[in-house]
A and B are shown apart, each in its own frame.
Chain A
Amino acid sequence: MKTNDLAGRIPWTLVVFLAALAVPWLGSRYDVFLATQIAISGLFAVSLNLLLGTTGLVSFGHVAYFGIGAYVCGILMKTYAMPFSIALPAAALGAAFASLVFGFFCVRLTRIYFAMLSLAFSQIIWAIAYKWNDVTGGDQGLPDVPYPDLDWMNSIPLLGDLRIAGQFYVVSLVVVGLSLAAMRRIINSPFGRILTTIRENAERASAIGVDVRRYELAAFVVAGGFAGIAGALFGIFSRGVFSDYVFWPKSAEVMIMTILGGIDHFWGPVVGAATLVLLNQEITSYTEYWSFVLGTILLVLLFAFPGGIVGGLSAGFAWLRRKRGRAISPDARRLEATGAETTSVEVKRA
């Protein structure tokens, strides 16, 4: 854990969080817009990575739980005029409950069948959202989801100076920050370690006494709950909930974010989300063919950097460190190990 590097001593997480918090005061309205989108997408991608990277479950329907969170929160706040403080937890619980029901069936299947069933469930949610006009607004969606009541902020110095979008960004960032902290804790907990043993080798995990399906289901529920929180925030942020949010290509999109950042590192998906959101803004100002660019990025990623941005960087740093002949700390060695994918794949085959 301890390095003598100055860089190692700086609490980077806190620095990044504070920098992000300063955006509404230092940046433009547009910067706030982008920052909110990054924070929410980051949370969504990290929740997916609890399945993808930590447990090794390829869910192709994660957007279902994002969507359920968005609809639950949106319906409660718009149709029933409930406060945000009730709607947000309700969204998380609703999404977690749906994950429990759907996950119960999904974890009974393996690999490609797991992916297909999770896709089928998410399409069921989409079909409901698309057709159940009375509740979800059908193909018209649920426009004009109100902002939470943030009037109390107006009496607080600094916060009072912000527009509502800036204030909501601060709220979102705090919610996202707390969620990420909780998820990081969970991944580093004994529960999280058991999940990694399932990813590594489910047969061996069960031989040491792990009830694999049960743990997979628990991971599915936790991931679904946090996706629900991200969805709830997103519905308010984009001022409406639409059936497009749950259409299957969205699942692919968040998966690309996650892989782009790197699934072997906790912060990978956040980096991926930030990269994709910013890139999208840049590129769509030049060309309408964003999908083409995204597809090309994905191809390059698959062939050249399967470890994603963070995986590539940490492999690069490890290489530099070795070159400088420094003793390698256990931490760095672990990072390196995650970069060295080929070796472990070969071992699995042997």
Chain B
Amino acid sequence: MLEVKGLSKSFGGFRAVSDVNLAVAEGEIAAVIGPNGAGKSTLFNLITGHLQPTAGRVVVDGRDITGVAPFKICGMGMGRSFQRTNIFPKLTVLENVQAAFLIHRGQGPNFWSRSERLYRTESEALLASIGLAAQAWTTAGTLSYGNQKQLELGIALASDPKILLLDEPTAGMSATETHESIALIARIARERGLTLLFTEHDMAVVFSIAQKIAVLHQGRIIAHGDPATVRADAEVRRVYLGDH
């Protein structure tokens, strides 16, 4: 489903990501972990086209998407969330999701219809599935932090992605919020048969839902495999224990 081959990125002389290979199969839940500054966000931005790689390729569903502009990648079935919360703060929750439907269903060049009537049912259904139905008319910017993260997931889902990239989906959340949010993500991924790739700093979260884990350290993958393998890996233990 998603294949990353020999992906590298240098800023000046600094190699933020170097020769990363990853493969995520359809319907799989995979995580990229690593200490701060390991290059996780850079890797994500390379995959989604926000950054241009120095070398390497990104292939989705057999199509080479290396260096394609971010707005086009979305149309190819890849949705993403950001580490910083990224919503449309002055619009209502419903309008946030509706906007994503509008653009995904090709209504952007429509100058004439009334936007608030379009995809109303779809938007409401989506909000219900992510547990925000009651807040549909709330201004998005006034939602609690956890709810904003939920909404961000909703916006990504509106473009009906086959593969979803989540950058630190639980960053800044309380323990309860983290727990609920992970349960939600796991349920949605299951229901929709999504392929999921996420980065995460909370190890408990990672080992609870990921089927496959890759460990990034100083821009390189130092271990990958199922949770048990990664947990037992000597190199990983050294990096993590040495770090703390």
Direct contact of A and B (CB under 8 A): yes
Show the binding face of A for B, using Cβ within 8 Å: 185-186, 188-194, 196-197, 200-201, 203-212, 215, 330, 333-334, 337-338, 340, 343-344, 347-348, 350
Interface residues of B (CB under 8 A from A): 48, 69-72, 74-75, 79-80, 82, 84-92, 95, 98-100, 102-104, 107-116, 118, 137-139, 141-142, 145, 148, 155-156, 158-159
B57 to nearest A CB, angstroms?
A: 21
Q: Which residues of A contact B70 (CB under 8 A)?
A: 206-207
Which residues of A sit under 8 angstroms from B103, Cβ to Cβ? 194, 197, 208-210
CA gap between A350 and B87 in the complex, in Å: 12
Q: Given A201-B88, A203-B86, A347-B89, decide whether A209 and B159 contact each other with a Cβ distance below 8 A.
A: yes
Chain A residues contacting B142 (CB-CB under 8 Å) are 337, 340, 343, 347
- A197-B88 in contact given A188-B115, A330-B137, A347-B141 (Cβ < 8 Å): yes
Which 3 A-B pairs rank lowest in CB-CB distance, beginning with the nearest?
Answer: A337-B139, A209-B74, A200-B88
CA distance A344 to B156 in the complex (A): 21
Residues of B within 8 A of A196 (CB): 88, 90-91, 99
A194 and B99 in contact (CB under 8 A), knowing A204-B155, A350-B85?
yes
Chain B residue nearest to A264 (CB atoms) is B90
> 15 A-B contacts, Cβ less than 8 Å apart?
A185-B111, A193-B99, A194-B108, A197-B99, A200-B90, A201-B89, A206-B70, A207-B71, A208-B74, A208-B156, A208-B159, A209-B75, A210-B108, A340-B142, A347-B142
Residues of A within 8 A of B139 (CB): 333-334, 337, 340, 343-344
Set A190, A200, A205, A337: member contacting B107, Cβ < 8 A: A190
For A204, list chain B residues within 8 Å (CB).
Answer: 82, 86-88, 155
How far, in angstroms, from A9 to B105 measured CA to CA in the complex? 34
Chain B residues near A210: list those with CB within 8 A.
Answer: 71, 103, 108
Q: Check A215–B155 contact: CB distance below 8 A.
A: no
Least CB distance from A339 to B in Å reads 10
**What A residues does B111 contact at CB under 8 A?**
185-186, 189, 191-192
Given contacts A209-B103, A334-B92, contact A190 B113 (CB under 8 A): yes
Q: Smallest Cβ distance from A46 to chain B, in angstroms?
A: 16
Q: A206-B71, A334-B139 are in contact. Are A201 and B110 (CB under 8 A)?
A: no
Measured between beta carbons, the chain A residues less than 8 angstroms from B108 are 190-191, 194, 210, 215
List, in ascending order, chain A residues with CB within 8 A of B71's CB.
206-207, 209-212
